[in-house]
Chain A
């Protein structure tokens, strides 16, 4: 047997699952506190972190339920710690109230949802993409949120780091939406050197405690954030509050606060949204796919092109805020947009809205726990090209 050294073999070359990559990415991002509750298919994230966190002086807690796990990460984050929890559909439902709290109190945190089939207990070990709308609108009331959706194990690693970065920069909970396929697939990955990875931290107050306003209306829309225990003694509440952080019923103050809160993500959408595009000259049809479905779509686009179809492919890795501009320009280029997804068409509605009648939407949907196969997408491309 050949003993030739392979150039890509080194300490950064690993074989790991998406769930393991999520745990590793979180550690690189600076995770200090994890709280969770066992649930398939996300439990491996907790298992890895229960071992790795104390080894680096961090804290891992298995809580009594999903709700307390979400509460605990918010509490930890208020002391300045980077904090995360991971779950799947039923647990994601349980976390929604405290997720809204993180949103209104503007507490950075990362919530991983390894999606499985639903509703209710649903299909615990089978993949689905049925929680993409829940990620946007699961908690009550108008609120800001960011959701990212990786398509490969390496992307899980990178997007977990990005999820922390976005949470810190915009003081917002960030949802990492995997699905069972991404969470449990083992792949070879070449991890980038830690030194090359950019880490963002929340902005600290630039004024002393006497002048500090925890919810100040700033130019960026994101107020600097003090840590508990460092002399600032501010108040945090889930009630609608003014710049001081204390509750208000004054409609002028309510509008000021909710106006800033609900615009802070949209106004930075261009910095937040990432889309992988593979466009082709004179394309007649486009494919919009995310998560594990994007893997099938990628192959389908390649096969369809071999058969002579002219196809554009866009794969958003940020789902919320929705990549409206990218879909809009796709709708300018093609007459039909195919949207395969493992739900009954949740993102297809958004694509249709962004296309505004300039391109027809062709949906491919499955909710039976089976992935959408490349052949199904090839067929749709050929029929609609």
Chain B
């Protein structure tokens, strides 16, 4: 049995997350991935913003930094640039990373700085009570979209890819084993890596949209999931409302802290 407690600040338990929330599954997948890589806890810096998923940093036994809303990536950028030997992992949500923090998300991808972003996508602002987020599907209800969301939603993995991330994967909390593998690959990748994880929020999203409890929502994730290999053979119409999972991007691009180090070596007096 895997010893999660090695990585937990046990006196901080229980977690604040609601019954049926998928965030705990992401947390455990992440800890297994970190353990598999064999990272020294002293060499990991975990940075988060504001929101349900961002509370994760308070529970795990690493160098942890719980920042302001949307700004986890800039703080992480400063940590990584000043101490590149640290493994820097950002834990964030869909609202934190792609609404208020959207600018930082695309620019970190453009720089291709060696930071791994675990992006918990629950399609809603959970902590503040269920307001519509950039990933709330069109037509779905939220506390600030009582008649159904009139806006289009973001494809946040596609956004990272377009902005230049060298690794992008999408997983769900239904498939924890592949999720662990995506996270492992993302951390190992030298460059900006994103793992978008679809995770249910039964309290603030499911209830309002009559999607059932956490278990029912996770079951729905399974039904909506289409692995990338199968998706490549399907039409856009068939893929409507589906969740394409797998490693979406895995390319080699020059990495920013490396580039900067080379610049120092060239011009250092």
Contact = CB atoms under 8 A, between A and B. Distances in A.
B104 A238 contact: no
Interface stretch (A70-78, A143-151, A298-306): A70-78
A61 B42 contact: no
Most chain A beta carbons < 10 A, residue from B12, B43, B62, B81 = B81
Interface string B38-49: 000111010100
A102 to B, nearest CB: 10
A238 B86 CA distance: 22
A246 B58 contact: yes
B86 A101 contact: no
Contacts of A71: 67-68, 71, 74-75, 77-78
B133 to A, nearest CB: 20
Given A75-B47, A237-B58, A237-B66, A229 B42 contact: yes
Interface in B232-269: 260, 263-264, 267-269
B42 A32 contact: no
B67 A54 contact: no
Given A79-B82, A238-B67, A65 B58 contact: no
Given A56-B268, A79-B82, A72 B77 contact: yes
Contact of A72 (B74, B83, B263): B74
B63 interface: yes
B174 to A, nearest CB: 31
A301 B57 CA distance: 58
Given A57-B264, A75-B65, A236-B66, A68 B77 contact: yes
B9 to A, nearest CB: 8
Contacts of B12: 246
Interface in B62-112: 62-68, 71, 73-83, 85-86, 103-104, 107
B176 to A, nearest CB: 26
Given A54-B260, A54-B264, A98 B42 contact: no
A235 B77 CA distance: 18
Contacts of B103: 64-65, 68
A231 interface: yes
Q: For the side of the interface on A, what is the size category? A: 35 or more
Contact of A61 (B47, B58, B81): B81
B74 A63 contact: yes
B61 interface: yes
Contacts of A67: 71, 74
A353 B264 CA distance: 51
Contacts of B62: 233
A226 to B, nearest CB: 9
A150 to B, nearest CB: 26
B68 A76 contact: no
Given A55-B267, A75-B76, A234 B63 contact: yes
A59 B81 contact: yes
B83 A229 contact: yes
Contacts of B104: 64, 68
Contacts of B66: 235-239
A102 B12 CA distance: 24
Given A54-B260, A229-B42, A76 B81 contact: yes
A242 to B, nearest CB: 12
Given A54-B264, A236-B64, A68 B42 contact: no
Given A59-B260, A68-B103, A229 B77 contact: no
A350 interface: no
Contacts of B65: 75, 78, 228, 235-237
A380 interface: no
A345 to B, nearest CB: 33
A163 interface: no
Contact of A76 (B64, B79, B85, B264): B79
A231 B45 CA distance: 11
A210 to B, nearest CB: 13
A229 B71 contact: no
B78 A57 contact: no
Contacts of A70: 74
B86 A228 contact: yes
Contacts of A247: 58
A81 interface: yes
Contact of A229 (B43, B78, B260): B43
Contacts of B269: 55-56
A104 B61 CA distance: 22
A35 interface: yes
A97 B79 CA distance: 19
A235 B12 CA distance: 12
A164 to B, nearest CB: 15
Contacts of B74: 63, 67-72, 75
Contacts of A33: 78, 81-82
Given A56-B269, A228-B83, 16 more contacts: A54-B263, A54-B267, A63-B107, A68-B73, A68-B74, A70-B74, A71-B77, A76-B78, A76-B79, A76-B81, A83-B78, A83-B82, A232-B63, A233-B64, A235-B57, A238-B67
Interface of A: 32-33, 35, 54-57, 59, 61, 63-65, 67-81, 83, 97-98, 101, 228-239, 246-247
5 contacts: A54-B264, A71-B68, A74-B67, A75-B82, A76-B82
Interface of B: 9, 12, 41-43, 45, 47, 57-58, 61-68, 71, 73-83, 85-86, 103-104, 107, 260, 263-264, 267-269
Please provide the 9 A-B residue pairs with the shortest distance between their CB atoms, ordered closest to farther.
A75-B78, A71-B74, A72-B78, A68-B74, A76-B82, A76-B78, A75-B75, A64-B107, A237-B66
